[in-house]
Structures are given as structure tokens and as C-alpha cells.
Structure 1
Amino acid sequence: MNYVIEMLDIRKEFPGIVANDNVTLQVKKGEIHALLGENGAGKSTLMNVLFGLYQPERGEIRVNGEKVQITSPTVANNLGIGMVHQHFMLVDPFTITENIILGEEPKSGLAIDIKKAEQNVHEISERYGLSVNPRAKIADISVGMQQRVEILKTLYRGADILIFDEPTAVLTPQEIKELGQIMKALISEGKSIILITHKLKEIMDLCDRVTVIRKGKGIGTVNVHETNTNELASLMVGREVIFTTEKTKSKPEGNVLEIKDLVVTDMRGVSAVRNLDLSVRAGEIVGIAGVDGNGQSELIEAITGLRKSESGSIKLNGKEIANMKPRKITESGIGHIPQDRHKHGLVLDFPIGENMVLQTYYKQPYSKSGVLNFKEIYKKAKQLINEFDVRTPNEYTPARALSGGNQQKAIIGREVDRNPDLLIAAQPTRGLDVGAIEFIHKRLIDQRDNGKAVLLVSFELDEIMNVSDRIAVIYEGKIVAVVNPEETTEQELGLLMAGSRREEAGENVHV
């Protein structure tokens, strides 16, 4: 059998942990090959070895049958290997063209030939159906478009083997569909793709074969057409996974959160939230369904005090909290699992133990007279790490070193432990595996069952349908309908999210 990539018995160690324990991966030419595993299973580490970012302690890599030493990303690029990273590596003030050619600039004499570069970028983007405006600035384009730029960067450098690291973690459903079409177009052009993912539906829709890694060990490789999602989930986590969220019928009581006529503007001064009304009661989960960019972020920021509201009312347990300082709002009974765990949820270079007390470090027993008590801080962190199954070598490990799923569990542990009256969960399972998703959904339902209010904001319709007791659909900054999950369908929700009127979307939808 001829393989374009062979990674044979790869072992990669970090202090206190074996990330890859003699893993073998073999990729055929012209296939989309999935690398499946839980958060922290060692998928990204293995691909960082292939891309030259890490050097393995043991093992052999072959490209097109020839043994190679990949000592840096430059060597990987020269071998035709490109990587589209989960967290994009782009320079915001630069144009698309400037980002793509960085380090490989075409010259005219001593100057960069920017016209030639723009022409090259345009030709490559048209060839692969990746339509972009070569002169647009990264800061002004959507996340989906930024990902296209990352793909174009690899193609510009002549990559024949593309590694996609969790490519759909930050995309809307429409962008995910477009990415699937782009991948198939790349394969038809003779490229080979390795797809790091834990989304089983994507594997079934897109991939030819799948290699499963569990806790750093290779479990095996299977043909996608010979397996199913239940089998893959069991291989990934080592036990049966329940896909439907089990919960009893909610018994809501009085309003915890009441929003009336709320107006919030975005960074450009344009109204992102427009006269929005919303309520969340004790003992219920209200899910907000909507396409990204319809005011969800601005709404959450207004509730949590991270953004000023122009007008309207936000009441928590009957008390006005609009435009109060974030700490005052937090102390009044709000917990917040932010949409971007890296930017707003963690201090990545702090130990995970210190991240666990970011909301309470100034209180006793964690500090006294402004002096931190690290013994108490790490004692509390250890308790939360055990309770919320945060997989880390120890509580002193930098947050940056944890997998996305374990970073998220740490944030949820920190917020839930404070027992807030209202828990706001924004994209709480984005980029997480089925085991972590199951765990987080159970924690949200536990909060509800303990008489707390939960506001869930998610772009995953199946998550909204599964977990919510009521669903509020947001479109252009307004709640356009409130529906019960058992009385609607994903198709109806999709139509409402796209701006259809309620009577067009379905007779059973009501405000």
C-alpha cells in the first residue's frame, strides 16, 4: 500500500505526561482521514510532530514512502505539508494578501510586488473555490473567511497534504457546510487531508477513514462506511455515550432575569441589540438560537457589565443591574462561561489553580489584607479539579497547557462553585468532544434542578433543542419568537433564525 504520510510508533513526552504513546497513523493519497479523540487525547500533539513544531522521542515519519526528519514547519512546508491551526495565526491589521505571502513575498527588485501577490492569491482562491477579496483586512472579515485565508496560506506554499485542526470549532452551520465543499474540492484536485476532530457527524459526512486515539494511545483505524457514530463514540471515550440529554420536565418559578426594551450598540456604534425583551425563570434553561452576529455577544456583554447598554432595563431578582461594574454584577449572583475561553475565561500563563479563583481571589480565605493565601487557593483548586474531572498533571500546570475541554471544565467548575442565581453559558461546548459535552450538559441541568436560572447561547441547534426548556430565537438583535423544544423542529428554528415570520416557519411557533 502506498501512503502519502506514515507516522510509525510515534512517542512524544512532556514533563509528567506521555502525550503520544507509540501511535501509528497512515494516510492514503486523495483521502480525508480523520484523527478522532477526546480533548487531551494527543491528536494535536501528533499533528504538531508531523508539522515540525515538536520533535518525537521515538518513531519514524515517512512522506511518500521516504523516511524524513521534520525539524521545523519550514521543512514540513518544503515536503508539501501545510497546517490550518485551530487558533488562527493571522495579523489583524494586514490584508489577506499580506498574511498569505508573509515570509514568501514575491519581489520586484528590492520591493515587494504586491500586485503580483494579489493576482496570485486571486488565482489560487478562484481555483479552489475559496473566494476572498485579496485587499480586505483580516480585522474586517468573518471567522469563516479568516479560515479560508489560513487554507490559502498552505496552498500558496504548495501544500499537497493539509492538516485541519478542529476546523469547525468556530464556524456557523452555513460556514461548516461551505468548508465541507472546499475540502471535497481540494481532494478532487489531488490533495490529501488529515482532519483533527471529535465531531462524529462531520466524520460520517466527509471522511474516508478514521484513526482513533484514546489517552495518547492508538486504538485503531476503521473505514467510515463500515462504522457508525455510536461505535466511534465508544472507541473514543472507552464507554457507551448517551447522545440525548436526560432530564426531567422543568418546574420554573419566578423571574430571575428580566430584560425590557434593551438597546446595545456594537464597536462601530451600530445597534446590535434592538429593543430586546427576554426573561429567564428560576429552575429553567432558556436557549438563545440564532446565526452568529445577530446580537448574541453584545447581549451577554450588556448583562455581565462588559458593555454599556444605551437604554432599557436589565433586572436580576427584581434589582436593576444595567451598566453596573462587572464585579458588582458578578457578586449580585451571575456566573458567566464566556464564548472565548482564551480571551475572556482564563489567564493562559497562570497556573490552572490560580485561574480557579479569578472570581473570588480577593475574598477570604484566599486573601487577607490584600495578601494572597496560596495554600488555600491551591487547596480549593484541587477540590474543583477533582469534582469537575479537569485532567491536568497538577494544579500548578499553566492553563495554556491544558486541552480545550479541560480548560472549559475548569471555567465551569469556577463559575458553578459560586452557586450563582443566573448562569450564562455562551458556546459552552464549542470545540469539545462527546464525553466533555455530556458532562457539561449534565452540569447545566444540575444547576436548573437546583432552582437556578440558566441562559444558554449556542450556534449548535441540536444542543439548543436537547438542553433548553424554552428557546428564544434572536434575529437582527431582537427576540423574534419563543418556542418550546418539543413543539418545534430544527427546520422551523432555522427558518426563524433566517428571518422568516412565525406563520411562515410553522403554526406551532408562539411568542
Structure 2
Amino acid sequence: MISERPLLSLKAITKTFGTLVANDNIDLELNRGEVLALLGENGAGKTTLMNILFGHYRADHGTIEIDGSQLSPGSPKEALQAGLGMVHQHFTLADNMTVLDNIMLGTEPLFSLRRHNSEAITKIKRLSEQYEIDVNPNSKVNTLSVGQRQRVEILKALYRDTRILILDEPTAVLTPQESDHLFATLKLLVTEGLAIIFITHKLREVMAVSDRCLVLRHGKTIYQCRTADTTAHKLATEMVGGELPKVLRKKSELGKSLFELNNINASDRKGHQLLRDLNLKLHAGEIIGIAGVSGNGQSHLADLVSGLLTPSSGQLVLNGIQVDKPTPLHMLRKGVGRIPEDRTATGVIGDMTVLENIALEKYWKKEYSRFGMLNSRTLANHTRKLTTSFDVRCGGLHSSARNMSGGNMQKLILSRVLSENPQVILANQPTWGLDVGATAFVHRQLIDACSEGAGVIIISEDLDELFSLADTIQVMYQASLSPPIDPARTTAAELGLAMSGHRDVVHSLLLKEAQS
């Protein structure tokens, strides 16, 4: 039941960074028992607004009230005490500690003579039963699945008597079944009067979960409505300020084999097996999708394709030639382009300029360097051409890469990779955290590269993305790959079960394909 007075009220919030107006006179209200979807392109001001709400930033102008009481600006402690909680897209749990330790961390005095474990366990079990969040308090976090870790994050917030819960891209790493479980939990939470801000780029989920929508664009509130009174298409056009480009994937005739993995195994220095009996064959003009829950070996597969991991047995074949000891430079020279999973940690170097980041994978070419010295003029002309053709909004060639939005960072990486016309493209989570406009741009670039004869391997936890792009899908579970599955003959629910380890589902899908 929604009360008359808003539980949360932000009024006229304004925040500038130099000449950039990140938030421009934003008003936001949230009621008890309500789910508000906060939408906008990358760089629209959502993160800045949440940082102001939590006290990480101080607004230049405006006020924040929770249940009628005004919060002091710039005080995270006061925000937490007022009942704010947040579950981040990238979880903030200590893997080597138990669920109980993670939940209790920061809730007791640093120099307390004893821990109140029994009282904490009692409260955790009560919350678990009340909201159907099944997690063992004594389990080590590093033994939990991604979905279970998210439940721990939610329990951690509820343990602190959170009244307002903010979820940042909560389904980005979940299977469809785990997403359904999350949505069921959210329904129980709002029934008990909890208020939720739901930040996501998945408009289908917005329509299914939220009560109201608020769209930001260029730091301003552009559109507000009840979810029942709008459509996903309307929300998308409001986010980007116009019609979205249509991205259609048409199957083409497959060309020659470009890349093969034949019974590949790989281990780390301690002998722990990282990859187990991998088989994959990529042709020219083909897109292979790799589905799987995070932590099942996708990062090691990406390292293998990139030349960062050497197989201990099996064959890695590139353009018909076996590669025994791959290195990143060797794979680059042989036409493998890499779009890494984490654009901020491994895709770009934040302290380097846009020009220097473009040079990272081109310095070995004669036209860009001579006798160990970079040809600055040639690189500048090339970088200027790329930032224009890929619409990279960066503030100049010599501006720091860390000041760019996520979408523009991804465009920068795409421009660096695709300008070399690679034959094999590894795209690891290529649209993770990107808005609908940036996602459409990335998809268009990959499809165009494929139509020109490249082969693409997309590793993604977004099944919608794989269904819209991939010719075949292989499921990765516990360091192994399933045989190829035709996306036209399966469903997201079936793939979700396969991602959770139900091998019988994979066998039934393959049998169904064989019979047809």
C-alpha cells in the first residue's frame, strides 16, 4: 500500500564537474511499497545521482529527505542509518569469508569484546524465511553461485534494516531462473513496504517489475510515467532522444574454418584445471555465442583465444595452422581482435590519453613506429579518424580515457580492434552495462564485421543478446563447452537450465535437432 507522503524525496538536485552538468535540477520521489525504474543512457547522470543520495558526492544545490527528515549532504554514514541500501552490479563481498562474516561486517563496534553471532544468525534466518532467500550463513562466499551471492548482498542490506533498496543492473549475471527468483523476492519486499530503485537497461524487465519509470538524458529528467501507461519502445526512444537503429542479423553462407579448439585442456601453475576438453569450430561469416553463468571458465576461454593462456593439451588451430604457444602479440599479428570483458580494468588504461590507448595495439606496426619511437602525427590522424567514424565522445585526443562514459570506452575499444579488420573477433561481454543505443551500435559493428568475412565469438550472460546475434550457442559449465545448439530450436528457459548444470537438457536439445 503506497502512503501519501513519499518515503524518499530528492528536490532540485544539481551537480557539476567543471563545465559538465551531470545532474540538472532533478526531482525524484519514491513511495513505500513501490518499485521505481531509473533509466537513461550511459553518462545520463544516474550514477552521479545515486552517489549524491548515498553521500559520496555533495550536490551543488538541492535537498534529500527520507521520511520527512532532511539528510546532511556528503554523509554516507547518515544515509545508511536512514535506511538506504544498495546491491551493486559488481558484488562487494569478501570471497574468503563466510556469509555471516560478510553480513555482519561493519555492523558492530571495531573494538567490541565479543561478536553476537547467535543473535545475527537468528536474524538472518528470520529474514531468509520471510523473504524466501535461502543461503547458509556458514558457507564460504567463494563456494556460492552468482545468484546466491546476490542473495547475500540483499540479506546484507536487509540485515541493516534497509527501507530503500537500490539495485544496479541486478540481472546482468543471472540465469533466467535466478532472475525469476529475484523478482519473486522483490515482490515480497515491496509487500512489506520496502521501496526499491531499479537501475537497468533491460526494458522487458522494467515493464515486468516496476510501478513507475523515470528517464534521465544529459543530466535532466526527460520523462516520468506509470509503467502501465507506457511501452518499452517509448522508454527506449526517450532514453536516446529518437528512434533506435534497427539491428537485424541475417544468416549468411559460412566460409572457411578460421579458428578451432580440438580437445583443449588448460591448467594453472598449481595444476588446477581451468579448461576441460573444449571443442569449438568458427567459420568465416559465423557468430558463435558462449552462454554460461559467471565463473564457469569463460574468462579462461577468453584468455586462451587472446593468447594469455597456453593449453596443456589439445590443438588450437588458427587459419589452418596449429598454434602451440600462443602469445597476445602473436594472436594480434595473426588477425585475432580482442574486446575484453572489463573495459575499465583491461580494455583501456585510464591514466593514458585516448591517442595512447589507440596506440596500445598498433605500436608494433611500421606505419605507427620507427626504431622504437611512435609516429605521433600518423597516430593522431588515425585516432581522429576512428573517433569520428565510431562517434567516440572523448573531449579530445589527449584527454584522459578514465573520464569517458562506459559506452564511449567501448566504442574506443571497438574502433581500435575493428580498424585492423581482424579475421577472428573475441567479444567478451561486449554490451555489459551499456544502454540501448550503445548496445545497438556495438551489435551493428559486430554484424558488419561478420558480413565482411570475419568470425565472431561472443561470450555473454545476456541470453537476449545471444538469441539475437548467434548462429549457434555453446553452453559453458564447469570449464567445459557443450556441443553447438541451434538458438532457433531452444528457449531461454532451456538454456538457463543448461547453464545451471542440467546436462540432460543439452542432450534433449541435441536429440531434438537431430530428429528434425
TM-score (norm 2): 0.89
Secondary structure (helix, strand or coil) at the match of 2:503 reads coil
Distance 1:103 1:491 in 2: 38
2:456 to 454, 457, 467: 454
Alignment of 1:343-354 (within 5 A): 343-354=345-356
For residues 321-367 of structure 1, what are the alpha-carbon distances to aligned partners after superposition, in whole Å with 9 as ceiling and x for unaligned? 24322222222211111223333323234334433332223545554
Distance 1:125 1:368 in 2: 64
- Give the Å deviation of 1:441: 0.7
- Give the Å deviation of 1:431: 1.8
**Contact 1:283–1:449 (Cα < 8 Å) also in 2:** yes
For residues 239-297 of structure 1, what are the alpha-carbon distances to aligned partners after superposition, in whole Å with 9 as ceiling and x for unaligned? 12256x31343132111102212123478745453333221111222223344444433
Distance 1:482 1:123, change over 3 A: same
2:394 to 392, 395, 398: 392
Who is 1:38 aligned against? 41
**Contact 1:81–1:161 (Cα < 8 Å) also in 2:** yes
For residues 212-260 of structure 1, what are the alpha-carbon distances to aligned partners after superposition, in whole Å with 9 as ceiling and x for unaligned? 11121101211111111111111111112256x3134313211110221
* Runs of 4+ deviating beyond 6 Å: none
- Give the Å deviation of 1:162: 1.2
Who is 1:88 aligned against? 91
Secondary structure (helix, strand or coil) at the match of 2:136 reads coil
Distance 1:397 1:15, change over 3 A: farther
Who is 1:425 aligned against? 427
The gaps in structure 1 that reach 5 residues or longer are none
Who is 2:11 aligned against? 8
Distance 1:210 1:267 in 2: 50
**Contact 1:354–1:378 (Cα < 8 Å) also in 2:** no
Who is 1:464 aligned against? 466
**Contact 2:340–2:429 (Cα < 8 Å) also in 1:** yes
Alignment of 1:135-214 (within 5 A): 135-214=138-217
Bigger shift: 289-298 or 189-198?
289-298
Bigger shift: 34-43 or 374-383?
374-383
- Give the Å deviation of 1:64: 2.0
Who is 1:68 aligned against? 71
- Give the Å deviation of 1:191: 0.8
Who is 1:403 aligned against? 405
- Give the Å deviation of 1:60: 2.4
Bigger shift: 193-202 or 118-127?
118-127
- Give the Å deviation of 1:440: 0.7
Amino acid at match of 1:72: S
Who is 2:438 aligned against? 436
Distance 1:42 1:236 in 2: 12
Amino acid at match of 2:456: V
1:296 to 280, 298, 312: 298
Amino acid at match of 2:356: E
Amino acid at match of 1:263: N
1:103 to 98, 103, 106: 106
- Give the Å deviation of 1:424: 0.7
Secondary structure (helix, strand or coil) at the match of 2:464 reads helix
- Give the Å deviation of 1:134: 2.8
Secondary structure (helix, strand or coil) at the match of 1:348 reads coil
- Give the Å deviation of 1:300: 2.4
Matched, 1:129 2:129: no
TM-score (norm 1): 0.90
> Identity rate of aligned residues, in percent?
42
How many residue pairs were aligned? 510
Who is 1:19 aligned against? 22
For residues 14-33 of structure 1, what are the alpha-carbon distances to aligned partners after superposition, in whole Å with 9 as ceiling and x for unaligned? 12311112222111111010
Distance 1:275 1:236, change over 3 A: same
Distance 1:492 1:135 in 2: 32
Secondary structure (helix, strand or coil) at the match of 1:34 reads strand
Distance 1:265 1:27, change over 3 A: same
- Give the Å deviation of 1:445: 0.8
**Contact 1:100–1:156 (Cα < 8 Å) also in 2:** yes
Distance 1:68 1:496 in 2: 47
Alignment of 1:113-124 (within 5 A): 113-114=116-117, 116-124=119-127
Amino acid at match of 1:308: T
**Contact 2:485–2:510 (Cα < 8 Å) also in 1:** no
2:504 to 489, 500, 505: 500
Distance 1:142 1:503, change over 3 A: closer
Secondary structure (helix, strand or coil) at the match of 1:482 reads coil
The gaps in structure 2 that reach 5 residues or longer are none
Distance 1:378 1:418, change over 3 A: same
Bigger shift: 170-179 or 114-123?
114-123
